[in-house]
Structure 1
Amino acid sequence: MKINNEDLVYIKPNLVIEPLIDNWYAWPHIVSPATAAMNIKSRHLKIMKSYVQNPMIHAAAVKNPKMLGGPFIDYNGGRVDEIQSLIDGTTQKCAKLLELNDDILELHSLLKNSAKGYALIDLYPLIPESLQGLVELVYDINNNPSFRFFESLLYETEYYDESIQSVNLFLVLDDDSRTFVLSTPKLASPEILRLDIPFNSDKIDQLFEMSLEPKRYEEILEIFEITDPAQEILFRTFFTTETPKEYQKYDGDGVLTRYFGHACILTETKETTILVDPIISYGYETDISRFSYEDLPEKIDYILITHNHQDHILFETLLRIRHRIGHIIVPKCSGGNIQDPSLKLMFEKIGFHNIIELGDMEIKHFPDFKITGLPFIGEHCDLDVRSKICHSIEFNDGFKMLFAADSCNIAPKLYERIQKVIGDIDVVFLGMECHGAPLSWLYGPLLPNGIQRDMDESRRLAGCNFDQARALIDVFDAKTVFVYAMGMEPWLKHISSIKYTSESEPIVQSNQLLEYCRNKGVEAERLFGEKIIEYKNVINELQIS
């Protein structure tokens, strides 16, 4: 289809925006300055240096299913010179962040060696210069020393550097496969357009508004200042004159939910749209039935974020739909702990607005529903991470849904106490990734002293097993239970690196739960791909397709 400069054009629905920080796929821990510093030093540089030294070891490892998600670059042993160039570029462009990493480690060492339970006033002058005025030194009540960041000030320093942010634009044509985002940096490719713009740029919104509202091609060309002829040829392929399909707004009297994969669920009433943990697939001919961006409403009133992991906060999706979002509801942060950066601050710095923090057992009221934030244990390797929450949504007719995400019911008394406050739940969505990755897989770069292997293996990013899930649904007397696909959808593989078999523990354990529910007369299913569920105005009368 030939596009002329004066044509009114839309973006193609399978146009990807891939956000990057220093040439690596952006996820929350490389946005917040302190965690970014430690990941760039102890993840990115470490992996790239290993690849330059032994590229064929990496090439062999990525072909081994047992090594999925490991620290191995997926360029088939090639492009070594380009990886070396990335190392050189990171060392230069991120010099201040690398210094910040070293100073954080120095501060840990200072506290370990010098904070012995006495007043900390004499240690403040010894804090590394870069951290002066950015941290508070503290003890817990057992006299263990630590520190916390004044994170809002940290974002105002040179350590938050928008110049290392950029985006890739490219089309998904007929394949979901991409390299694993935590292990492989993004190198140049002929079918990818790299744009050096920060995430808060309104150019991103102007581009993706064109999913529904067309612009003249010449206008969008000028907005992005595309002057190189080769880039312009590629840029032109991102657009079409074809009018997108019209979204059919729900007009029933009940609640319509649509499953988009993993933990992403869209809930609609006549008045409100709510999207949980957005991760959206791209549409093309495939044997897996799926919803895509074309199946999203024009306006999404509320985005709910359950916790700060890359399979629940996907900037690729969130930046693409930012212009549609009314409010984002995030878990309330504990305030300055390095392993628990503020989601509210992060979203505001990258261009999102109307961020609402929700705390444990806090209630927010909206026109036709209310949300209660429920605490959850698990999935964070026993680290002190507070920015995690389940969402209990109660509609005005009393119908209640629980989005339990990766809650692990380690302490059943917790939900027994919660049930006494909020009552029973009609529909429960939960994950059962009961044998998740070890602590070091995600949080390793933040650990000042590493961790013993047996300790590391014991502390995992795990959700409920059968017994824990059974206790959760029993205590709330759930009428319907959905276990989400836990990263099995192919469009999640570059994020989750998960490939289950029938013998994998999450499958075995969730099968047990499904059987238990059916024997109990509870509607239950492990979701995959897409699903539509309509809950009529009469509670518990439902239609499933």
Structure 2
Amino acid sequence: MKNNIVYLKPNVVIEPLVEKWYAWAHLISPATAAMNVTRRHLKIIDSYIQAPEIHTIAVKNPKMLGGPFMDFDKKRVDEVKELKEQTKQNQAELIALSESILELEALLKSHDKGMSLEPLYDKVPERLKGYVELIYDLNNNPSFRFFEHFLYSSKYYNTASQSISLWVTQNDERPFCLSTPRLKEDHVLHLDIPFKHEGIDALSKMKRIGNQYDFIKELLGIKEEDESLFKTLFTEEKPPEYQKYTGDKVRMRYFGHACILVETKDVSILVDPLISYYGYDTDVAHFSDIDLPEVIDYILITHNHQDHVLFETLLPLRHKTKNVIVPRTNSGALQDPSLKLMFQNIGFNNVVEVDEMDAVNFEDATITSIPFTGEHSDLNIRAKTCFHVKFGGFSLLFVADSRVMESKIYDHVHQQMGDIDILFLGMECDGAPMTWLYGPLLSDNLPRNKDESRRLSGSDCDKGMSLIDIFNPKEAYVYAMGQEPWVEFISSIKYTNESNPIKQSNELIRKCKQKKMIAERLYGEKELFYDYYKLIEKSEEVSVVDCNLL
């Protein structure tokens, strides 16, 4: 193998990590990373060290899925203790930043409400000076905003904490990503390289385009003691050649969860990439990265949650992606970090921000950003958008997890955009409480009843039908349900036939069919071909699990 042309095996996982924790968006932006280190990671670490038996029991309980429990037995306490010490040492600047943020919030709470904030600038913690502006809302509630760009160029953004793990997978099983760090495993190769490293692009290309083994070994800086494991990631067998789509229709391919590929012979658009690996036996038919085009013209990101911004998929796609379109935010709010800054700082070059109702025009198509409401626990978050994609007279609307809080908003959208042909609607309507995701950012504990009332919920049947009634689609597809097995370690979702999201989406599908519409809850894979308003051809239905049956 040494000097031969080799290919990366199709089922090699390239897992991005930050200080040994699964990388997601709130671990990239320095302010949210600081709060997650101190108020999520270290809390979970301490809890496990104090009572590992409780964690072992909890992860076996289906009702505890997604909870703050490490998926380790008690034999790994010493390793977790070592991780704690490494975290305190390597993340010392972020830990101090977190303490300063809490100190600033306490300062603002003690201020005489309504009086000028200018005298407080001298009292701002030294670590935050020059990085924050003190502000009021119109009701005289004091707060602050970050100059986030400066945080990325400061000591608080430390790429030395970034790394990747590589291994050959045979299944979709992994511990829940927000609560279990990645400790040393004999079959996993850990590389201390930042996410911007050119070796990630070169390695990813080798799934299709072979290269010399010595080249990739040198580029990634493989140590002699790791070479035997590194070699197991490659094969001399050439992968099947990708067949570019050259038809005269619009082709839609569902890759699972909220990931949709829309193609014509001239352009490819990939929405919320979350792609499964392949090369192992599975009962769920699905497309994989081998089914993606050689060039992706546009990646569309709807919002900044870990199941829609997945670096494990995005980093291997970076070398073939021309443009990334993200919702704009410059709020500077702790809970609303900039997606553009994040993507730029992990190596994506052409990142386009869009405001609500902005349009991106190309060839004979248009991508328009439309309002995304709800699903963010009533927090003031701007980095979220739905996408309207139009080819000639044919249109698709990707609503993602938007919860239709006020349908009249979409009446206004309809006045400008008109009817649509295809609607994709997320219906995970029993979302987690706010603190499940945003808890580390809160300075005060939220009472349980309030936390439960502010959930990360998508649309139920009534809210979904309000969109159907407004936009009059010819087809409606429920997606973004987190059902596929390769999404479970991110979403922590397992439905039964009695789960409310299943019942609600079943009812929406029933009502759509009463209206003589095509309607379905997507699962696994789906391929459709469209010619303007006419459905030309539909692929065979894939098998579904029981909870997908009406």
Partner of 1:39: 36
1:504 is matched with: 499
- In the other structure, the counterpart of 2:544 is none
Following superposition, the deviation at residue 225 of structure 1 comes to 2.3
Correspondent of 1:299 among 295, 299, 323? 295
Structure 1 residue ranges (4+ consecutive) displaced by more than 6 angstroms after TM superposition = none
SS at structure 1 position matched to 2:74: coil
Deviations 1:68-119 (A, max 9, x none): 0000000123200000111111111111101100100111111111151111
Contact 1:55 1:80 in 2 (8 A): yes
RMSD between superposed Cα atoms in Å: 1.0
How far does the alpha carbon of each residue in 1:138-188 deviate from its partner, in whole angstroms, 9 at most, with x for none?
A: 001111111000000111110000111111011112x10000010001000
Amino acid at match of 2:274: I
2:195 paired residue number: 199
Question: Is 1:532 equivalent to 2:527 in the alignment?
Answer: yes
Equivalent residue number for residue 481 of structure 1: 476
Partner of 2:221: 225
- For the pair 1:454 / 2:442, whether they are aligned, the reply is no
TM-score (norm 2): 0.97
For residue 442 of structure 1, the aligned residue among 437, 441, 456 is: 437
Of residues 248-257 and 97-106 in structure 1, the stretch that sits farther from structure 2 once superposed is 248-257
SS of 1:211 mapped into structure 2: coil
1:367 Cα shift?
Answer: 1.3
Look up the equivalent residue of 2:456 and give its one-letter code.
L
Q: 2:132 aligns with which of 123, 131, 135?
A: 135
Aligned-pair identity in percent equals 54
Q: Could you tell me the TM-score, scaled by structure 1's length?
A: 0.98
Structure 2 residue 204 is matched with structure 1 residue 208: yes
> What SS does the corresponding residue of 1:78 show, helix, strand or coil?
helix
1:93 to 90, 94, 101: 90
Q: Which residue of 2 aligns with 1:255?
A: 250
Which residue of structure 1 lines up, in the alignment, with residue 362 of structure 2?
366
Question: In 1, distance between residues paired with 2:214 and 2:136?
Answer: 60
Contact 1:330–1:344, Cα closer than 8 Å, also in 2: yes
> Using the alignment, how far apart are the partners of 2:215 and 2:8 within structure 1?
13
| CA contact 1:479–1:540 (8 Å) conserved in 2 | no
Aligned partners of 2:108, 2:223: CA distance in 1, in Å?
54
Q: Of residues 18, 24, 27 in structure 2, which corresponds to 1:27? A: 24
Query: What secondary structure, in the 3-state scheme, does the structure 2 residue paired with 1:98 have?
Result: helix
Please say if 1:470 is aligned against 2:465.
Answer: yes
C-alpha contact 1:59 1:75 (8 A) present in aligned 2: yes
CA contact (8 A) 2:296 2:322 kept: yes
Give me the whole-angstrom Cα distance separating, in 1, the residues matched to 2:328 and 2:177: 27
C-alpha distance in 1 between matches for 2:474 and 2:100: 53
Q: Name whichever of 481-490 and 65-74 sits farther off.
A: 481-490
Cα distance in 2 for residues equivalent to 1:198 and 1:518: 50
- Give the distance between the partners of 1:16 and 1:83, measured in 2 at CA: 23
Q: Distance in 2 between matches of 1:240 and 1:296?
A: 21
Task: Out of 496-505 and 528-537, give the one that drifted further.
Answer: 528-537
For residues 27 and 106 of structure 1, the distance between their equivalents in structure 2, rounded to whole angstroms, comes to: 26
Which residue number in structure 2 is paired with residue 171 of structure 1? 168
TM superposition shift of 1:544: 3.7
Aligned to 1:515, the other structure's residue is in SS state helix
Report the CA distance between 1:288 and its aligned residue: 0.8
User: Is the CA contact 1:426–1:540 (under 8 Å) kept in the aligned structure 2?
Assistant: no
Counterpart code for 1:503: E
Distance in 2 (CA, whole Å) between partners of 1:390 and 1:203 is 33
Residue among 319, 338, 344 paired with 2:340: 344
Q: Whole-Å Cα distance in 2 between the matches of residues 94 and 286 of structure 1?
A: 39
The equivalent position to 1:63 in structure 2, one of 43, 50, 60, is: 60
Q: Which residue of structure 2 aligns with residue 80 of structure 1? A: 77
Q: What is the Cα deviation at residue 227 of structure 1? A: 3.0
Does the residue aligned with 2:68 lie in a helix, a strand or coil?
coil
Does the C-alpha gap of structure 1 residues 485 and 303 become closer, same or farther in structure 2, counting only changes over 3 Å?
Answer: closer
User: 2:535, 2:142 → 1: CA distance?
Assistant: 52
Q: What is the SS of the residue equivalent to 1:356?
A: strand
The aligned amino acid for 1:433 is E
Contact 1:394–1:401 (Cα < 8 Å) also in 2: yes
- AA aligned opposite 1:17: I
2:323 maps to which of 311, 327, 343: 327
Which residue of 142, 151, 154 maps to 2:151?
154
Partner amino acid for 1:52?
I
Partner of 2:516: 521
In structure 1, the partner of 2:400 is 405
1:476 to 1:305, Cα distance in 2 relative to 1, 3 A: same
In 2: Cα distance, 1:69 partner to 1:528 partner: 21
1:144 to 120, 141, 146: 141
5+ long unaligned stretches in structure 1:
none
Indicate the SS of the match to 2:305. coil
Q: For the structure 1 residues 542 and 399, does the alpha-carbon distance in structure 2 shift closer, same or farther, using more than 3 Å as the test?
A: farther
Tell me, which stretches of 5 or more residues in structure 2 are unaligned? 541-550
Could you tell me how far apart the structure 1 residues matched to 2:514 and 2:73 are?
49
* Offset at residue 334 of structure 1 (A): 3.6
**Segment drifting more, 233-242 vs 255-264:** 233-242
In 2, Cα distance between equivalents of 1:247 and 1:428: 29
Aligned partners of 1:394 and 1:267: how far apart in 2? 11
Matched, 1:267 2:262: yes
CA deviation map 1:310-342 (0-9, x unaligned) = 000000000111101010000111421100000
